[in-house]
Structure formats: C-alpha cells, structure tokens
Structure 1
Amino acid sequence: MAGHSKWKNIQHRKNRQDVARGKIFTKLSREIYVAARQGGGDPDTNQRLRLAIQKAKSANMPNDNIERTLKKALGETEGDHYEEITYEGYGPAGVAVLVEVLTDNRNRAAADIRHIFSKQGGNLGEAGCVAWMFERKGVLTVDREKTDLDEDSVMMSALDAGAEDFESSSDSFDITTSVEDFETVKEALENEGVSFTAADITMVPQNTVPLAGEDAKRMLKLMEALEDNDDVQNVYANFDIDDSQLENY
C-alpha cells in the first residue's frame, strides 16, 4: 500500500489547506450526520461516529458545528438528508478505484462522478467490479519527525497490541489493524505518547498496480478531481507510484 499510503499523506497536507476555505468542514459534517443516522448519537457505542467526531476536532471544526449536525441527524432540527453511495471504476492502466459518496442528490452525484472518470482517462464500472480487491482495515499513520520513539519501538508496541502489519517509509510509519482491533492498538500507542497524522477505518488494496510517467500523472489528477468533488467523502485506489513522483506532485 506504499503508493496509496503516500497519497493519503499528500491528501492530509491538502486538507490543511481546505480547512482555511472551510471546505473540509462540509465533508466532516456529512460524515457525522450519516454516522449518527445509522448508529445513533452516542459516540461511546457508535465507532463510526466517534471517529468522525475525532477527525472533525483534529481539523479544528467548532463544537457548535458538530452539535448542530448531530441534532439534524437525530431529527431535532430540520436539514438536508444524505444517502451513502459507493461507485467503482478504473483509472489509468486498470487501477481499481472505489469512491464513497454522501449526497443529497443521487442523480447529480452519479453524473458528476461519471464525468470526472471520463475526463481524467478512467472508466466508471458496475457495482462490485473492483470492491473485491479491497479489505476494510484500520490504518494509523505516524509522522516520523513528530515522535520521540524509534522505528523498532513503535513497531513492537503496535504488534504487541495486536496490529496486523507495520510499514516504514521515509517520513512515516503506517500501522494496519483489523477493524475490531483498531481502537485497542490506537489506545495502546497513545498511552506510549504516539500521536497520529491519520487514524481511520479505511479500504486497503490487496495488491497494487505500479504506475510511472504519464499514467502516474493521470492517476493523481483523477484522484484529486474526485476528492475535490463536494459529494465525495473518500477515494481508494490500488496504485503504487514512486515516492519521488509523488513528492513532486
């Protein structure tokens, strides 16, 4: 998951820019809304809601916004209603792409996603065409420069707590867990003073497609175009691109 993981780090940097425009607050509000609608308004018993609120707070979203969204989700105030849709397709060189959408207009979202795939050299596929290539996992990302612990210490602590995998890159550690063990591993590392640049339940590809040159550039443009769409919450893809090409993007 090296290329995909590296892209997520770039995305987090872009998200910090989005915060200044307030754009990311809209997506975070929708995630809180749907999580509360599906699993109730108590974050202690609703893992998805708990993670959504944590992400909102880490992005410095005001508590008033969070409370207002929860009230809408629980029917205490009027507001838009969102539905959750997953689109599947292919990018350059057959890269598998999953797009998670939260929208108040299904027809608009479908047209927009189809247009983005077509414009950026991809193809929107049928339901189920690529979902089998991904597994839902917990992923914790640690900034190497922001932890006092060395690689071996973080790795051993993660594995001892139940992590399934540990990957090291030039600027981060990526820890993969089962969904069930995600919070146990996260809490164990936090107790040792480890903080995370990202802590999500996400879709991890089972294998990757190496990309370079124009295919790599086209894939990154497709990813960015999808993530810039207001209805899109998450984009997952199974590409692997050399770090140097990602760094310069």
Structure 2
Amino acid sequence: MSGHSKFANIKHKKEKNDAAKGKIFTKIGKELAVAVKEGGSSDPSINRRLRDVIAKAKANNMPNDTIERNIKRADSDPSTYEAITYEGYGPNGTAIIVETLTDNKNRTASNVKNAFTKGGGNVGTPGCVAFMFDNKGQIIIDKNSWEKDADELMMLALDAGADDFVEEDDSYEITTAPDDFSGVREALEEAGVEMVMASVTMIPQTFVTLSDSEDIKNITKTLDMLEEDDDVQDVYHNWEE
C-alpha cells in the first residue's frame, strides 16, 4: 500500500478534527461507553478494548480528565448503542464504508442515505464493497518521532506479532491481523513509540483516482456530510485524494 500519502492524509484529517474537537470527543466518548459496557469493566487494565479506545482518544488529544469522565459516565449511562455498517458507491464507482453507533436506526439510515444521494452516489447492500478492503490493524509512526534505526522498530513490531512493516518517505506503517492489533500496539507503547494513528481499520486493496471536478466535489460533499454526523464513527473509502 506504499505511495498513497497515508501520513499526509492523517495529518490533514487531524487538522480538520482540531477545528471540531467537541464533535470528535463526543464520538470517542460514545466509543468509550460501548467499550466499557461490552468489555464488562471500566478498568482498562482488564478491558483490552477500552485500552484501545483510550489510545485512540489520546491520539486525538482528548484530555485525560475528559477520558476518565466519559468512562465513569458509562456505568450510569442508560443509552444503548447499536453498531451498524453501511456500504455504498460514490462517483465513478468509488467504494465507501460507513461505521456507525446509534440509538436510533431510522435516523441514522436516513442521514447516511441522504449523504450518499447528495453526492450523486447510492447506498448498496451489505457486502457490496467490503470485499475491496482488508480489515487490518494499522499503526502509523512519524519518522521524525523515532530517532533509532528503522530495523530496530521493524523487529520490535514483528516480534510483537505484526504482519508487515513498510517504510515511507515521512513515516512507518505497521499492519497487523485485527486480533493481534492490541498486543502490537501495547508493545510499541511500552517501548515509548509515539503513534500518529493506531486503530483497526479497513484498508483499500486498490485506489480510484477522480479527475472530473464535479466527481471530486460530489465525493467531498458525501464524505463531509458523513463525518459531520454524530452517529458516524468512521468512514473508509478507496478514493485517492
């Protein structure tokens, strides 16, 4: 997957997130609540899923007191969130996957459909585009934050159970099987490795380039509408921005 400016895209997304921290924190707060309830404990030392969400929260600069407040609130929060994934097509056959956490399926389905329609696309059936992506743990490390030899970082990751290690111009990318992600992330964290991003994600097998300005305008509209929706947790696509 080399050469698709993943690090640049992540930095760009973080800059957008910095302008809307309240919304990002609300979404992560929802993930923290779900992790507590599904993991059966508010103690991250025994709840691996909660540890992973806390790492995501810290990567998005959520303050520790905000993280702790959301975890404590989860025990008394009566809300029940359901995870629903939508798949569909954007301009020129671009593939889009939308992961949501919702307490109102009708509202979420309507909003997701509207976002696709406004951008000239359409929601498809479950599985219609998922086969175009690989479900992987993905860890991105800024080269400037790792002062030691790249081989040392590679061996650290591979020894912890990583599947692959790729050196880019400005970053290192480590990929894992979903079940091995937590162990690899924790091994890197214990070694003092700073991670720009660390999550289980959907990685496109191939990318689609859009050259028509109207297509670019439409897919941008769809992605912006989805990412602004409070019920939408993550959006994956194979458009090479």
For the criterion TM > 0.5, the same-fold answer is yes
Q: Between 202-211 and 22-31, report the one with greater CA deviation.
A: 202-211
Cross-structure match for 1:183: 182
Q: CA deviation at 1:30?
A: 0.6
- Aligned CA-pair RMSD: 2.6
Contact 1:3 1:239 in 2 (8 A): no
Contact 2:59 2:197 in 1 (8 A): no
Contact 2:25 2:62 in 1 (8 A): yes
Cross-structure match for 2:18: 16
Cross-structure match for 1:235: 235
Contact 2:55 2:198 in 1 (8 A): no
Query: Is there any run of 5+ residues in structure 2 with no aligned partner, and where?
Result: none
Cross-structure match for 2:224: 224
User: How many equivalent residue pairs?
Assistant: 237
Q: Between 49-58 and 106-115, report the one with greater CA deviation.
A: 49-58
Equivalences for residues 37-52 of structure 1 within 5 A: 37-41=37-41, 42-52=43-53
Contact 1:140 1:196 in 2 (8 A): yes
Can you list the C-alpha shifts for 1:189-241, whole angstroms capped at 9, x where unaligned? 34544211111111222333333443445434432321121111000112334
- 2:195 is paired with a residue of what secondary structure? coil
Cross-structure match for 2:55: 54
Cross-structure match for 1:198: 197
Are residues 93 and 166 of structure 1, via their aligned partners in 2, closer, same or farther at CA, if it must alter by over 3 Å? Answer: farther
Measure, in 2, the Cα distance between the counterparts of 1:223 and 1:131.
Answer: 17
Pairing 1:125–2:127 present: no
Cross-structure match for 2:70: 69
Q: Between 158-167 and 45-54, report the one with greater CA deviation.
A: 158-167
User: Once the two structures are aligned, what percentage of the paired residues are identical?
Assistant: 49
Measure, in 1, the Cα distance between the counterparts of 2:218 and 2:153.
Answer: 35
Cross-structure match for 2:27: 27
Equivalences for residues 204-215 of structure 1 within 5 A: 204-214=203-213, 215=215
Can you list the C-alpha shifts for 1:81-126, whole angstroms capped at 9, x where unaligned? 3222111111122121110111222211111111111112221111
Measure, in 2, the Cα distance between the counterparts of 1:97 and 1:120.
Answer: 12
Measure, in 2, the Cα distance between the counterparts of 1:155 and 1:121.
Answer: 43
Measure, in 2, the Cα distance between the counterparts of 1:181 and 1:199.
Answer: 12
- 1:44 is paired with a residue of what secondary structure? coil
Measure, in 2, the Cα distance between the counterparts of 1:189 and 1:30.
Answer: 26
Contact 2:138 2:174 in 1 (8 A): yes
- 1:89 is paired with a residue of what secondary structure? strand
- 1:31 is paired with a residue of what secondary structure? helix
Equivalences for residues 162-181 of structure 1 within 5 A: 162-181=161-180
Contact 1:4 1:238 in 2 (8 A): no
Q: Match for 2:222: what amino acid?
A: L
Measure, in 2, the Cα distance between the counterparts of 1:135 and 1:209.
Answer: 16
TM-score by length of 2: 0.84
Query: Is there any run of 5+ residues in structure 1 with no aligned partner, and where?
Result: 242-249
Q: Between 144-153 and 193-202, report the one with greater CA deviation.
A: 144-153
Contact 1:157 1:189 in 2 (8 A): yes
